């Protein structure tokens, strides 16, 4: 059921358009900024849950060898239409037998854990990423954050009372994702718990979008010059501990021991 829901979502809401809008550009540019901090010439990259290949295409253009894995066929079709020479296969982040152990210098998980509900499912994907990444290699893992959803969907849309009454939001205002839901929302202590269970070591953690999702209409009204300053601002403050977790996404950079 969950996989069917994912396919329905991406068939209805094209991922290729999201990262081309201003709030998505902030997320993309900030993530690329941090990738460039760690990538080395000649690195082989696995992009797991590649969507329509926005990151794969950018990294290919910079000369990196990239293999992409994507679950949703529509996303693959869009990807290959734009990037016909891309190395892309259909697959599930939790189980990728076609990819050997210790294959990648850097593995990207910039989407799959949004949709995997609960620790057990997330740990399957983290364990697979760990298996296919070389010792000493890096894994970039993106998460959807609890507070953005609480503020934007529960309070701003005046749903909070009903969701607390239904047990969807607990007494600590942590969303308890229900079976069949598309997204799972977590906090930093949840991410820390997953890292401990997976045996992965944090190098850094950053917010790729910060306030961008809260400011969509204001971003769209900004002049090009002001918007470029906003992107540079987000890059600058993306690792500040008092701000990580407040945006809609967080990216954890992990080293395989």
**Taking the chain (257 residues) in consecutive chunks of 10 residues, what is each chunk's mean pLDDT?**
62 68 95 98 98 97 98 95 96 98 98 96 98 98 97 96 96 93 96 98 98 96 98 98 96 97
Per-residue pLDDT at 13: 65
- How far is 65 from 39, CA to CA, in rounded Å? 12
Instruction: Map out the domains of the chain as residue ranges.
Output: 2-255
Per-residue pLDDT at 1: 40
Whole-number Cα distances in Å, 103 to 100, 189, 199, 218: 6, 30, 18, 43
Q: pTM above the 0.95 mark? A: no
With beta carbons less than 8 A apart as the criterion, state whether 15 and 75 touch: yes
Per-residue pLDDT at 14: 64
With beta carbons less than 8 A apart as the criterion, state whether 56 and 73 touch: no
With beta carbons less than 8 A apart as the criterion, state whether 199 and 257 touch: yes
Per-residue pLDDT at 111: 95
Per-residue pLDDT at 16: 67
The CATH number for 2-255, chosen from 3.40.50.150, 1.10.287.130, 3.30.460.20, 1.10.10.10, is 3.40.50.150
With beta carbons less than 8 A apart as the criterion, state whether 101 and 131 touch: yes
DSSP string for residues in 182-207: S--EE-HHHHHHHHHHHT-EEEEEE-
Query: Tokens in use for 241?
Result: 């501990």
Neighbours of 182 (CB within 10 A): 13
């Amino acid at each position: 059921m969950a996989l069917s829901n994912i396919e329905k979502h991406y068939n209805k809401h094209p991922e290729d358009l999201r990262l081309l809008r201003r709030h998505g550009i902030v997320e993309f540019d900030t993530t690329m900024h941090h990738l460039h901090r760690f990538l080395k010439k000649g690195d082989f990259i696995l992009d797991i849950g590649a969507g329509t290949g926005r990151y794969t295409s950018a990294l290919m253009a910079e000369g990196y060898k990239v293999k992409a894995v994507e679950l949703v066929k529509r996303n693959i079709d869009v990807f290959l239409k734009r990037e016909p020479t891309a190395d892309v296969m259909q697959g599930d982040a939790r189980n990728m037998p076609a990819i050997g152990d210790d294959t990648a210098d850097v593995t990207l998980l910039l989407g799959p854990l949004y949709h995997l509900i609960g620790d057990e499912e997330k740990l399957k994907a983290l364990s697979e990423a760990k298996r296919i990444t070389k010792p000493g290699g890096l894994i970039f893992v993106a998460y959807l954050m609890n507070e953005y959803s609480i503020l934007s969907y529960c309070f701003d849309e005046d749903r909070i009372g009903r969701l607390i009454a239904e047990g969807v939001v607990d007494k600590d205002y942590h969303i308890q994702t229900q079976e069949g839901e598309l997204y799972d929302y977590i906090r930093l202590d949840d991410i820390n718990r997953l890292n401990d269970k997976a045996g992965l070591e944090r190098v850094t953690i950053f917010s790729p979008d910060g306030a961008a999702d809260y400011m969509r209409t204001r971003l769209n009204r900004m002049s090009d010059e002001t918007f470029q300053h906003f992107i540079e601002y987000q890059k600058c403050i993306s690792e500040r501990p008092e701000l990580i977790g407040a945006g809609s996404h967080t990216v954890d950079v992990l080293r395989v021991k």
